[in-house]
Structure 1
Amino acid sequence: MHGAAHRDRTAFRSLYDASSPKLYGLALRILGRRELAEEVLQESFVAIWHHAVDYESALSAPMTWMTTIVRNRAFDVLRRTRNDDTDTIDGAALESIADLAATPAERLQMSREAQALADCMATLEERHREVIGMAFFHDLSHSDVADKLTLPLGTVKTWIRRSLARLHSCLSARGAA
């Protein structure tokens, strides 16, 4: 990482060779499509090259920092493609939960609890995250959420109940509940 910060192309190539398979796998798991995962990996390494000078080893390991960049870019693409596919999704609900596209430096500025919540929210299925966001961050009733997403009211209530239980478990495991 130090070499990449000083624009050493050989060091950056070594960094790429060592980390790209794992980072590509992460992007592929999030997106489920090879072409999108390849796009995210390329964009991420461009960002890594440009921001390597900003990397602070005292705050995180290099792989953690790069994983965060790939993860955030993958979620950006996922939101963008999902919004392109359907008009029934309230993208603002997802964005209001936590800024999943925040840079690693911005995420480090979040409070420990907010970061734990954002990380736990990211483990939920996207539709469940959306329902939680609409209900709790946009203060919509369960009926309003069901109407907006054209889902049965019972489904919305079940998703909220299960998601809250998962969030509680995740936060408890992190010591943030």
Structure 2
Amino acid sequence: MTDRDELERIIARVALQDRKAFGQLYERTQAKLFGICLRILRSRAEAEDALQEVYVRVWHNADRYQVLGLSPMTWLITIARNHAIDLLRRRRVAERSGQAPIAEAMEQPDASPGPEALTLARSDGDLLRACLGELEPERSEAVQGAYMFGFTYAELADRYAVPLNTMRTWLRRSLQRLKECMSR
């Protein structure tokens, strides 16, 4: 049985409110999901709180997971990523008056690799970085800003001084190129 099959089986048991299966799911996935939350939120305390909320959502929505050709990790990562980005956006709205400009926030260096970076290095991280390197620098930065740091399309359009629809086109085409590169 593959890891994917095992995770699907565990999620099916979680949908039946099986606490033991929920513990197994947590043990198998918490490091990666925590890494994603930490990378987006950049605060260990906030990432821990976000991770707890992610698993509450998984517990309540496991019955909605259906095998449609998507991996269970994709489903879990999407829940974690979307929740962390929602928290980040709420924080930005609350701190809007004293917040650093977007350009400064995007350029702040993170000297140490986070848990997500370490996890990605063990899976498709090297390939993803290589594929991002094939994009034009502005496109690569825009993709990372949108999907790793939670910037909105409008914020990115302002940052790069392009119309909103142009930014949408940049991101859509860049994602298509990344998909093609990742499937080589």
TM range (shorter): 0.5 to 0.7
Q: Deviations over 1:119-176 (max 9, x none)?
A: x5833765573335xx6xxxxxxxxx6xxxxxxxxx652798888656533333336x
Which residue number in structure 1 is paired with residue 147 of structure 2? 123
Unaligned runs of 5+ in 1: 90-119, 136-144, 146-154
How far apart, CA to CA, are the structure 2 residues paired with 1:125 and 1:156? Answer: 16
Match of 2:68 in 1: 58
CA contact (8 A) 2:36 2:81 kept: yes
Q: Does residue 52 of structure 2 align to residue 42 of structure 1?
A: yes
On the 8 A contact 1:5/1:51 being kept in 2, the answer is yes
Q: Structure 1 residues 61 and 127, CA, compared in 2 at 3 Å: closer, same or farther?
A: closer
1:81 aligns with 2:91: yes
- Identify the structure with bigger relative contact order (alpha carbons < 8 Å, sequence gap 6+): 2
Q: Which residue of 1 aligns with 2:26?
A: 16
Look up the match of 1:106. none
**In structure 1, distance between residues paired with 2:78 and 2:52:** 14
Give 2:130's aligned residue: none
**Residues 89, 150 of structure 2: 8 Å contact kept:** no
1:27–1:40 CA contact under 8 A, matched in 2:
yes
Matches for 1:90-105 after TM superposition, within 5 Å: none
Q: TM-score if structure 2 supplies the norm length?
A: 0.56
Q: Distance in 2 between matches of 1:131 and 1:23?
A: 26
Aligned alpha-carbon RMSD (Å): 3.2
18, 31, 35: which one pairs with 1:25?
35
Provide Cα deviations, 1:61-93, integer angstroms capped at 9, x if missing partner: 21111111001100100000011101599xxxx
In 2, the alpha carbon distance for the partners of 1:170 and 1:48 equals: 27
Moved over 2 A (4+): 120-132, 155-175
| Aligned equivalents of 1:18, 1:124: Cα separation in 2 | 22
CA drift at 1:2: 1.3
User: How many Å separate the matches in 2 of 1:3 and 1:124?
Assistant: 31
Q: Can you give the 5+ residue segments of structure 2 that lack an aligned partner in the other structure?
A: 1-10, 100-142
Q: Percent same amino acid among aligned pairs?
A: 34
2:82 is aligned with 1:72: yes
Note if 1:174 corresponds to 2:179: yes
Residue correspondences, number: 125
Q: Which amino acid aligns with 2:23?
A: R
Compared with structure 1, are the counterparts of its residues 126 and 42 closer, same or farther at alpha carbon in structure 2 (3 Å cutoff)? closer
